[in-house]
Structure 1
Amino acid sequence: MKAEVQSNIRQSLGKLMDVVSRFDQSQIDVVPFEGSWTAGQVAEHITKGLSGMPRLVAGKTEVTTRAYNAKAQPLRDLFLDFSIKFQSPDFILPTKTVHAQTKLIIGLRQIETELLDVADKNDLTLSLLDFEMPQFGTLTIYEMLDFMMAHAQRHTHQLEHIYARLNP
């Protein structure tokens, strides 16, 4: 199970970093179309959304009394349905500051290292009690990591769309 989770982390974040690295620095903060975030804002948002996992697993956990992966597929199906537009929670909204592409990639690499470490050193079947996912409640470490990768995949898709718009 741990090897599968780590492979998913490497693949998902590797592809995300590859897409972010395709942008020229001059394109990172360009709004590609009305109502869109910039590539820098998307990368900042996903960085905020994926950070904090080491702190979360260090918090309260308990033995899970259901299948450790029961909520993984429903969350994945929801987040990878690109016809649905989500409203970001305030705590992971991006800012309107200037974004340095290299800093964004360094931040994503750091998160990848942290998540790989979490997957390696923890019992992935434990339930995380310090965070509840709206409509899903508490998640196991496995489900949270899987959700995070679906979130990364969703925004990789968004970044590919932004890139195509800026580089016709």
Structure 2
Amino acid sequence: MEKQTINAPGHNLPEPLTISLDSTINELMQVIASIKPADFNRLPQPGSWTPAQHLEHLRLSLQGAVSTLNGPVKVTPRSPDQYVDAIKGIFLDFDAKYPAAPTLIPDDKDYDKASLRDELSSVSEKLKEIVRNQDLTGTCLAPEFTGIGLLTRLEWAAVAIYHAYRHVHKLNAIVQDFTTSAGS
């Protein structure tokens, strides 16, 4: 990852990660718009999540990230971006499967597309504001990231971004599958 940071006051997020945040949120909103209403709460295959459940999982995750980023921190005795590349590798390995944390498992119900989109947009804006205005060098006191431990605010921002991108990738694949199966 490039170490150059944005030179504006309040900005200490490495520039490529800031760009990734905006890009990922824009892609998320585009994929939501591309999901047909009839497909929003439709299972792509048995044992999987509907597009709506993926989005609810992501909403819960982003809300957790906002809460973590607004939580208490301590001084970081290492490079604040030490684990960003590892986090990126974990979430962008699209062949790997990871179980969702129990608190991030979406309810098995039908969701309203407009409401869920609006909630995701709102929590995304909160995340953007935090990463642009807070000092991201402090280590968050909780929670621990499985396999790594305590992360800095910068690293939790990376978790939020790359996790969101992982679901954008999955949702694009689901939309493509729905489109292909409709044409068969």
TM-score (norm 1): 0.94
1:121 to partner: Cα distance: 2.2
- 2:114 is aligned, of 88, 98, 102, to 102
Report the residue type matching 1:114 in the other structure: K
Report the residue type matching 1:86 in the other structure: Y
In 2, distance between residues paired with 1:157 and 1:55? 25
TM-score (norm 2): 0.86
Write the deviation string for residues 75-119 of structure 1: whole angstroms up to 9, x where unpaired.
110111011101001100011111111112111111121011111
Matches within 5 A, 1:1-168: 1=5, 2=11, 4=15, 5-168=17-180
Report the residue type matching 1:81 in the other structure: D
Corresponding residue pairs, total: 168
* Structure 1 contact 9–112 (Cα < 8 Å) conserved: no
Report the residue type matching 1:141 in the other structure: R
* Structure 2 contact 69–156 (Cα < 8 Å) conserved: no
In 1, distance between residues paired with 2:65 and 2:36? 30
* Sequence identity (%): 26
1:6 to partner: Cα distance: 3.5
Larger radius of gyration: 2
Write the deviation string for residues 1-30 of structure 1: whole angstroms up to 9, x where unpaired.
336243222111110111011012111010
In 1, distance between residues paired with 2:67 and 2:105? 20
* Structure 2 contact 65–160 (Cα < 8 Å) conserved: no
1:120 to partner: Cα distance: 2.2
Report the residue type matching 1:145 in the other structure: A
Write the deviation string for residues 149-168 of structure 1: whole angstroms up to 9, x where unpaired.
11011111110111011111
In the alignment, structure 2 segments of 5+ residues that lack a partner are 6-10
In 2, distance between residues paired with 1:121 and 1:84? 33
In the alignment, structure 1 segments of 5+ residues that lack a partner are none
Larger RCO: 1 or 2 (CA < 8 Å, sep 6+): 1
